[in-house]
Amino acid sequence: MVTASESDRRMRRRSAVRDRILDAAWRLARRDGVAAVSLRNLAREVDLTQPALYSYFAAKNALYDAMFAQGCEQLLATVTERRYGPEPRQAVKQMVADLVRFCAADLARAQLLFERPVPTFEPTPESYQLAIRFFDVGSELLARAGASDPAHRDIFTALIGGLISQQISNEPGGDRWTRHADEVVDMFLDHVNRRKDSP
């Protein structure tokens, strides 16, 4: 007979192995690139055989999806736990700075979240929902700073995404582009608020 505590232990153990697999996948992704993670290498890394991975992930894209969700949760935790000050413009700058730091801290993670390093992989709607929650936090802060127009939100996304993407692609590890984040935020908010005051 299977008692509740037995099944509990089983679940725990299963989840622990799953986490070890994910950790190893991140390690390989950081070393060789997200797209270069192979199931055979991954299995060797956690002392399993390649077919055994299918007990934890139904397919390789399910592994990527779990990584995507994990990255989103980390990003969400970063901006949720943070208390952004009452001054709206400063709050936006702090949030952008957190995002820049988040990306610089793990380029593979940033690539998986914001670029498309694996052409055949698209996050499931469930995982993507986590990404949307992050955008919602940003939208809230933006709105308080005077940019509630969806068009302005799109522009802002493109501006910040552009800085980060140029940084990752052309000078990973540096700050040639991202160091201008504050200036771009100021430029953008000045622009938005000027338009509102004198239309």
Partner DNA sequence: GTCTATACATCGATAGAC
Partner DNA sequence: GTCTATCGATGTATAGAC
Among 22, 26, 60, 67, binds DNA (CB under 7 A): 60
Partner touching 151 among a second copy, DNA, none, CB below 5 to 8 Å by kind: a second copy
77 binds DNA (CB under 7 A): no
Residue 33 zone, left/alpha/beta (φ > 0; ψ -120 to 50; rest): left
Residue 184 interacts with which of DNA, a second copy, none, CB < 5 to 8 Å by class: a second copy
CA 129 to each of CA 47, 69, 157: distance values in angstroms, whole numbers, following the listed order: 33, 9, 17
Per CB under 7 A, 14 contacts DNA: yes
Q: What does the alpha-carbon distance between residue 148 and residue 138 come to, in Å, rounded to a whole number?
A: 11
Among 38, 80, 124, 166, binds DNA (CB under 7 A): 38
Q: How far apart are CA 144 and CA 121, in angstroms?
A: 35
Q: Decide which of a second copy, DNA, none touches 82; Cβ closer than 5 to 8 Å per partner kind.
A: none
Contacts of 133 (CB under 8 A, 6+ apart): 72, 76
> Which of 61, 62, 70, 41 lies closest to 118 in space, CA to CA?
61
Shortest reach from residue 123's CB to DNA, in Å: 15
Candidate segments 10-18, 98-106, 141-149, 181-189, binder of DNA by CB under 7 A:
10-18
Considering only the stretches 51-59, 70-78, 148-156, 160-168, report the one whose residues sit in contact with DNA under the rule CB under 7 A. Answer: 51-59
